[in-house]
Amino acid sequence: MQGKIIFITGGVLSSLGKGIIASSLGRLFKDQGLNINMMKCDPYLNVDSGTMSPIEHGEVFVTADGGETDLDIGHYERFLGQNLSKSSSLTTGTIYSNVLNKERSGGYLGKTVQVFPHIMDEIKLQIKNNLKGYDLLFVEVGGTIGDIESIPYLEAISQIIAEDLENNFLIHAAYVPLLRATGELKTKPTQHSVKQLMSLGIKPNMIVTRNEIALSESEINKIAMFCSVKKENVIQSIDVDNIYQIPLLLKKQKVDQKIADFLSLDLKHSDHLELSNVIDKINHATLEIKVAIVGKYTQLADAYISVTEAIKHSAIVNQVKTKIDLIPSQNISIENLKDYDAIIVPGGFGESGIDGKLETIKYARENNISFLGICLGMQLSIIDFATNVCNLKVEHQELNPKSKNPIIHLMEDQDLEKLGGTQRLGNYNCQLIENTKVAKIYQSNLIQERHRHRYEFNNKYKEVLENNGLVFSGINPELDLVEIIEYPKNDFFVAVQYHPELSSKLTQANPLFIELIKSAKKRKLNKKENNA
């Protein structure tokens, strides 16, 4: 079977959930026997997401092969239950870099290099490379129709579709706002965004509307008529409590079969039992676990999206529901933490909010609260222990570059003059020490997890911390770097240098998060029994 492509564009406004729609359809088709790949085209000029602020653009999702990518790649992986590569994230910065490098090496044989056709051709090449070896490729275009920076991608898509109409399908997602004064859903913004799309030579095969309440029959007819699509191809994505419901809601509207009919896809029968069981467990969970994420970037929930989703995956395994609160570490009040069953201190950069994170870690350690530290969270857990248990005067070199006592110091191969793509990125080995908590959790001697950091623990302090009760339970065998610490006096106090949230999938929750929620659940039930 020749590989097919499904393109997904968006109109009216950003953050419509194009990535969730793509991920949901990808999961449906994968369940029905197709080999799926996915990619995101981001129109910004950054080469990747690595230097972008999480407050501006959400978290940086790191692939196993070390790519710093858009957060939608995380959605794809979590829904599909498979790892993607750095090639799944394409930016205008990458496109222009590739073209200019080819020009400098004489790759264009003296031709005048232009946006048309050379930028278009590079975009088409990257898309087609991602299709190789797969039955179906999803291509999501970031931003909205009408953005000037998106035009090269849309022109490239127009050319791909024109070259092979039968093997390409385009879905356009558009917002249908609810005018609360009259209770009306207004279809005009959708009509205008489709008109803009068609002015670029692209006609959508399907429209997926984002709306708070269901469209009426007349509203569906209006969208179909003015947007030149079949009525049955006007699909609704109504707001839901849980994004993992969306695949089955799309299935209910036969979206997968409609696309399969158009693209002549051979689908195997699937009851999607794994998805159905997940939704069933979510709907029937009654015990609520309260989890605090104490971090720096709490202004934007997407800054910690992989962490929050990993918590949800683990809650499903433990058959509980979770209330997740993002708490700014810049003005933390310990009183605010007393009602939580679990606390997470995630990664971050810079000195803002460091004192609040240290106070949080100290509180969790001293009060036996189920605790997970991630990346900077591990480094600060070490500083807390060294300072408050071992009475050492130590510092973090990022916070004080001239420190004479850096217990956390810059890795030898790091160059602070070149920030993009130069951190320790992607999967690295971690040897687990026998009879430790993490060895029992992972049930393995050697694991691989994803990293994104420049600083590491200074091993010269290892002996004094061990003598005071801290356990170094995970070590990178190649470079002798500390990967995991645990405090065995507590029920669950674990901190890791890597990012376990990045490998968590909807139906393959990360073991550390499973154990964190399991510990919090046990603590919650014990409190209930004691208060009964």
What domains sit in the chain, N to C, each tagged with a CATH number? 4-184+241-277 (3.40.50.300), 285-531 (3.40.50.880)
* DSSP symbol at 201: T
Pairwise pLDDT comparison (202 vs 11), residue with the higher score: 202
Whole-number pLDDT of residue 532: 63
The question of whether 390 is a catalytic residue gets the answer no
**Tens-digit pLDDT profile for residues 377-409:** 999 999 999 999 999 999 999 888 888 899 999
Share of the chain above pLDDT 90, in %: 82
Q: What is the mean pLDDT of residues 495-509?
A: 97
Selection from 306, 350, 308 nearest residue 327 by Cα: 308
Residue 349: how many other CB atoms lie within 10 Å: 16
- Banded pLDDT at 527 (limits 50, 70, 90): confident
Q: Tell me the per-residue pLDDT of 73-124, one tens digit each, with 9 for 90 and over.
A: 999 999 999 999 999 999 999 999 999 999 999 999 889 999 989 999 999 9
Interval 321-346 mean pLDDT: 94
State the average pLDDT for the chain: 93
Token couple for 6: 């499904």
End-to-end CA distance of the chain: 63
pLDDT for residue 13 = 73
Catalytic-role residue among 68, 155, 395, 501: 501
Whether 501 is catalytic: yes
Query: Is pLDDT at 415 greater than 70 in this prediction?
Result: no
Nearest to 4 by CA among 32, 48, 37: 37
Q: Is 499 a catalytic residue?
A: yes
Strands 471-476 and 424-432: antiparallel
Q: Which of 263, 280, 307, 317 is nearest to 2 (CA)?
A: 263
Q: Which of 375, 451, 483, 486 is catalytic?
A: 375
Mean pLDDT, residues 22-48 taken together? 96
